[in-house]
Amino acid sequence: MHTLSERLKLIASLIKRGASVCDVGTDHGYLPIFLKNTGIASSVIATDIREKPLATAEKNVKKADVSGIELRLCDGLDAVKKDEADTVIIAGMGGEVISGILSRCKWISNEDITLILQPMTSAEQLRKYLYDNGFEIIEEPTVLDTGRVYSVMLVRFSGKTEEKPSYFYYIGKIDTNTENGATYINKQIKRLSDCAASLENIPEKKREYEFYFKTAKSLEEIKNGI
């Protein structure tokens, strides 16, 4: 059986045993194979927008000789129906792409569905989308994988929209007192500070400059326990 990356292992650890899972953008299909071989998932729908990776996933599923995995060629959740999954994984994509997938799926706004989301970029955009649309991040553990810290969001629909402070969207519910959390918040501070520095002397960009500067300062205060 293929060994999962640390990132995928963390995702798998958040899934309740016996779950019916949909893995969006399955790529090579390693995660669905692992979930079925270990008995974590009772069934898995694995989707991908591209034919080539889905064909690769099909070969890997056959090679692993595992049943209970259904492969579907589609964009996001477009070919997945309500009640076919109680746990939806969307990992390895940009935060804006994940937000778009969620926005097109009406049945995903259901408190009985668990979302496990792992953005590669633009995590702040995804967090804002979630809280603007009635979702809540329950927990957000991190993992170090190939020299990079990834966060994984365990999310459920609450039906309650909420406006968070701007700094929240950059760190979410990550525990910044851990080694990974400290690395994560430092990266966000640098990003925001670099953006502020690039705009500081442009009068027409004053509002953007102040946003980045103030948000970076808020993160510094959280980091320093102020």
**Segment 39-57, tens digit of pLDDT:** 999 999 999 999 999 999 9
> Any idea what DSSP says for residue 107?
G
Burial of 204: CB neighbours in 10 Å, binned 0-12, 13-18, 19+: exposed
Does pTM top 0.85 for this prediction? yes
Q: Which amino acid is at 154?
A: L
Give the span between the Cα atoms of 89 and 148, in whole angstroms. 20
Whether residue 2 is predicted with pLDDT greater than 90 in this model: the reply is no
**Segment 159-190, tens digit of pLDDT:** 999 999 999 999 999 999 999 999 999 999 99
Residue 109 CA, chain-centre distance (Å), reads 16
Q: Tell the residue number behind the tokens 């045993």, with chain if given.
A: 17
Q: Which H, E and C letters describe 53-98, residue by residue?
A: HHHHHHHHHHHHCCCCEEEEECCCCCCCCCCCCCEEEEEEEEHHHH
Average pLDDT over the chain, rounded to whole? 96
Contact 66, 43 (CB under 8 A): no
Contact 126, 99 (CB under 8 A): yes
Whether residue 226 is predicted with pLDDT greater than 90 in this model: the reply is no
For domain 6-164, the CATH superfamily is Vaccinia Virus protein VP39 (3.40.50.150)
Average pLDDT over residues 81-85: 95
Give the span between the Cα atoms of 206 and 190, in whole angstroms. 19
Q: Tell the residue number behind the tokens 């519910």, with chain if given.
A: 173
Nearest one of 64, 77, 60, 63 to 21, comparing CA atoms:
77
Q: What is the pLDDT of residue 199?
A: 97
Burial of 106: CB neighbours in 10 Å, binned 0-12, 13-18, 19+: exposed
Pairing of strands 41-48, 19-24: parallel
Whether residue 73 is predicted with pLDDT greater than 80 in this model: the reply is yes
| 39 three-class SS | coil
Q: What is the pLDDT of residue 58?
A: 96
